[in-house]
Amino acid sequence: MVVRVGVVRSQTQRRWAVVVLAVAVLCALPVLASALPVAVPGLTAAQLRARIQGSASMSYSGYAESNATFGLPPLAGLTSVTSLLDGVTKMRVWQAAPQRWRVDVVTDAGERDTYQLGAAGYEWNSGAQLLTEVVPAPRGLPTIRLPRAADLMPTSLAQRVLSLAGTSAARFSTLPPVRVAGQDAAGLRVTPTDPASTIGAVDIWAQPSTGLPLMVEVYGRGARTPALQSQFFQVGPWNPAGTVLTPPPRVPGTGFTTASASNLSSALHNLSFELLPVTLADRKRVSRQVTNVGVYGSGLALFTVLAVRGGNFIADAQSDGGTPYSFPHGTGYLLSASLVNAVVVQQDGSDDTFLIAGTVSGKVLLQAATELTSSPP
């Protein structure tokens, strides 16, 4: 049988053309999906807000990424926090209930998995093959926890924003729908009413039927791009089953340890026992769980005051490019980053340093520092 070379070559080219076309279609799927028409049922801002808040008890699983550009300098003892607020965090999540979930942070070096199983908590470090049981604080003792990756999930972030905003600390409006994780999403904009807030707006896109948040973007005042964006790339209902929420067993070759629930005291080690005032910068103290840690303000305009003994905070603030200021009985620096401002002030003749930071203007923080140093230590 005689086979023409031209015919074979033509058939080969057609086959490879099909392969190339298939690959091109696969690569273009995300773009094509985002270009499809988006349609959601008409919901008022109040209705969408209520559905988002009602989705907190849903069971779901998915993959999400947060992208933060706060511009914070690395801080000794707080690298776990600053790394979350500058860069991309890749997360897998399984939630059975608000207090029964697992979030894995995926990195090139492995995974760091966090399990919350009611009052019990566990952390698994795959690189170190180490399981840590997080022991809760004894009943009656307060714990102020540091931020963790799970707080940056679109679901957690949206619930936190709506909880802080309440019904009076922000204005709510709807946004045009968009497509997120291959799903049509209804948009809700949260705009703080306090002009001192560094947050210009928080945009939340959620499933219109269930209210499950799919993407959250936090904008600084006057900014056109978000300082923090968290979104699902894949998410759906999950029927809790199997061993997904079971921490790795203790077997030969793996380590095990216990740790107390992360809090500010353990991170800074040397909080000073200063008696903080009830009001600072015309803003009331909203948390008195810890005597020497004060939270002031309301809604999305909050700041925290820590009194710390010793340390090189003043020198660090100077080297980080802080703006120097003089106070009645102290010296300090103002540090500004996207969404967050901070003032570091040391009292004259004292080893104590006040660390004041939050989502409020530098003017408010400087006023607070002035009041804290209005009299000798």
Flag whether 143 is in a domain: yes
3-state helix, strand, coil in the chain (%, to 5): 25, 40, 35
* CATH value at residue 361: 3.30.200
* Domain edge (last residue) among 213, 241, 264: 264
Helix (H) or strand (E) holding 26: helix 5-35
pLDDT at 101: 96
Flag whether 348 is in a domain: yes
Flag whether 362 is in a domain: yes
* Domain edge (last residue) among 209, 242, 264: 264
Range of the domain at 320: 270-372
Is residue 69 domain-shared with residue 195, that is, in the same domain?
Answer: yes
Is residue 197 domain-shared with residue 341, that is, in the same domain?
Answer: no
Find where tokens 């936090």 sit: 218
Is residue 226 domain-shared with residue 111, that is, in the same domain?
Answer: yes
Is residue 292 domain-shared with residue 224, that is, in the same domain?
Answer: no
Is residue 78 domain-shared with residue 197, that is, in the same domain?
Answer: yes
Flag whether 33 is in a domain: no
Find where tokens 């948390």 sit: 287
Flag whether 319 is in a domain: yes
pLDDT at 337: 84
pLDDT at 109: 82
Flag whether 18 is in a domain: no
CB environment 314-352: b (16+ within 10 A), e (fewer): bebbeebebeebebebbebbbbbbbbbbbbbbbbeeeeb
Is residue 293 domain-shared with residue 148, that is, in the same domain?
Answer: no
Flag whether 28 is in a domain: no
The tally of domains found in the chain comes to: 2
Is residue 194 domain-shared with residue 291, that is, in the same domain?
Answer: no
Is residue 228 domain-shared with residue 290, that is, in the same domain?
Answer: no
277 to 157, 232, 265, 271, 372: CA distances (angstroms): 30, 42, 20, 16, 8
Is residue 243 domain-shared with residue 276, that is, in the same domain?
Answer: no
Flag whether 72 is in a domain: yes
pLDDT along the chain (377 residues), means of 10: 52 58 53 57 94 97 93 61 79 96 91 92 91 77 71 96 92 95 96 96 97 97 94 95 90 85 59 82 82 86 87 83 92 90 89 89 96 84
Is residue 211 domain-shared with residue 321, that is, in the same domain?
Answer: no
Is residue 207 domain-shared with residue 335, that is, in the same domain?
Answer: no
Burial zone of 122 (CB within 10 Å; 0-12 exposed, 13-18 middle, 19+ buried): middle
Is residue 84 domain-shared with residue 231, that is, in the same domain?
Answer: yes
* CATH value at residue 175: 2.50.20.10
